[in-house]
């Protein structure tokens, strides 16, 4: 099945996406990640005001198959979380690039996004993982 990609987003090898909106970075998990998890049943979000580091685990997504950490692609302060996911975790499966964003970070260094893959590179990365 071909996966969807957000052309505006940058991607981490850990399957998070990050999109700049104003002076914030919005973070969620990719279509590939939600598909691999299958039916998402629970999401644990970081605390607003918490400081996160690029590459650190800051949230958890649980499905009927597994629980996986969600890593922050940038360092900074969490300024918003998507409370809808607490009530409706299935949004992660339905709309991974839209309604199912996880958290927003005010980045210390927006240049950290330059270390992430664009959609084409992420698609190639996924293809290289399928052996």
Instruction: Give the distance between the most distant pair of CA atoms in the chain.
Output: 41
Would you state the pLDDT for residue 1?
54
Would you state the pLDDT for residue 34?
97
Would you state the pLDDT for residue 130?
73
Question: What does each C-alpha distance from 83 to 5, 41, 95, 102, 129 come to in angstroms?
Answer: 23, 14, 15, 8, 33
Would you state the pLDDT for residue 2?
82
Assign a CATH topology to domain 10-129: OB fold (Dihydrolipoamide Acetyltransferase, E2P) (2.40.50)
pLDDT tens track for 114-127: 999 999 999 999 99
Would you state the pLDDT for residue 127?
95
Would you state the pLDDT for residue 128?
94
Would you state the pLDDT for residue 3?
93
Would you state the pLDDT for residue 131?
53
| Nearest in space to 97 (alpha carbons), one of 13, 2, 19, 1 | 19
Domain boundaries, the chain: 10-129
Residue ranges, the chain, pLDDT below 50: none
């Amino acid at each position: 099945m071909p996966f969807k990609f957000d052309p505006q987003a940058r991607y981490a090898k850990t399957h998070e996406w990050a999109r700049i909106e104003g002076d914030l970075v919005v973070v969620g998990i990719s279509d590939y990640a939600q598909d691999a998890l299958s039916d998402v049943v629970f999401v644990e979000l970081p605390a607003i005001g918490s400081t996160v580091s690029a590459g650190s685990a800051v949230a958890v997504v649980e499905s009927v198959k597994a629980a996986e950490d969600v890593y922050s692609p940038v360092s900074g302060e969490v300024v918003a979380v998507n409370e809808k996911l607490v009530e409706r975790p299935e949004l992660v499966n339905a709309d991974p690039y839209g309604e199912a964003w996880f958290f927003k970070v005010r980045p210390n260094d927006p240049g950290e996004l330059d270390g992430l893959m664009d959609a084409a590179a992420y698609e190639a990365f996924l293809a290289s993982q399928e052996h």
